[in-house]
Amino acid sequence: QVQLVESGGGSVQAGGSLRLSCAASGFTTRGYYYMSWFRQAPGKQREGVAGIASNGQRRYADFVDGRFTISRDNAKTTFYLQLNSLKPDDTAMYYCAASYGTILYEIFYPSRYAYWGRGTQVTVSS
């Protein structure tokens, strides 16, 4: 049974930083897989933030603009999202999602993911 558990959210002032973690249990990273961070603000659609594939390729949404970094630990069982230079517009629930297989252009399509965490809240005040 695959479980994804996010942590690390919180409240910060604009310009601050947070490091989100996604602990993946029951999810094997020895084959092909991909994992992404999504976010959803109240009244808005869920949107992709950053994604990483098993071959190490990373992709970021345009609004990231160099402020966020997605990474994974050596055991590849925990994924991270480093959030720097946070803005009030970054306020949202952040979710990690993962799936097996390969992906190219659809890494930010929520329908392509089989497993989701419950989210961690990030609140940025001005």
| Amino acid 97: pLDDT | 98
Distance in angstroms (rounded) separating the CA atoms of residues 90 and 1 = 31
| Amino acid 74: pLDDT | 73
| Amino acid 102: pLDDT | 87
Residue entry with tokens 């480093």: 82
- Closest Cα partner for 71 from 61, 60, 63? 60
pLDDT tens for the chain, 126 residues long, are 999 999 999 999 999 999 999 999 999 888 899 999 999 999 999 999 999 999 999 999 999 999 999 999 877 789 999 999 999 999 999 999 999 998 878 899 999 999 999 999 999 999
